[in-house]
Each structure stands twice: as structure tokens, then as C-alpha cells.
Amino acid sequence: MTILFVTNERLEVPSVTTAQMHEVNRITEEEIGPALPQILENAGRNLTEQAIECVGDDWKQVSIIVLAGNNTNGAGGVCAARHLANRGANVMLCFSAPEDELE
């Protein structure tokens, strides 16, 4: 694990490399349990809860912008945007890649 970010309070935020995350996903899907679509749905639902908690009580009155890349993290962002919209949030989904490059 690598430390790529330190908060203002000097707390180190650990991170993983892309290769490490691919291995975590592989182990999860092949050896432990849920398939990737279920993992993404769970991630989207949890991201939604985090977004609502971060924004606070006014979450339906503000605009929430979800930036999604062309990878599995981006797919989790798409799921989160859908969950937010289904709950009545004013959400805008933006992709970091042209439409013809999205998987």
C-alpha cells in the first residue's frame, strides 16, 4: 500500500495501485463471492450514502456532480448517480472519456 495523500490534519490516506485493485476485484469475484455487477451496485449504493452524508440535510436542494472515468471505478460512479437520481437528488453525470471510448 502506498501513501499518496495526507490530510490537513496530517493523517495519511493509504491507497492501492491499479494492479492491486484489479487483484482485489479478482479475488473477490472468483474466490469470495459476488460478481462484479453486484460489487459495482454495492459500491454505488455506498457512494450514494456517503454523498448524502457529506452534503447534509440539504442534499435534495443542491446539485451533485458525479465524475466517472472509463473503468470500474467509473462504473461505480454511474451506479451512484443512478441511486442518487432515484432518491430525488439533482445529479449530473459527467464522463472523462468520449462516448465512443466508454466500455
pLDDT in tens, 50-65: 999 988 999 999 999 9
State the CATH class of domain 2-101: alpha beta
pTM of the model: 0.72
Which DSSP string corresponds to 6-75?
E-TT--EEEE--HHHHHHHHHHIIIIIS--HHHHHHHHHHHHHHHHHHHH-TTTTTSEEEEEE-SSHHHH
Average pLDDT over residues 72-80: 91
Q: Where are the domains of the chain?
A: 2-101
pLDDT at 64: 94
pLDDT at 14: 79
pLDDT surpassing 80 at residue 44: yes
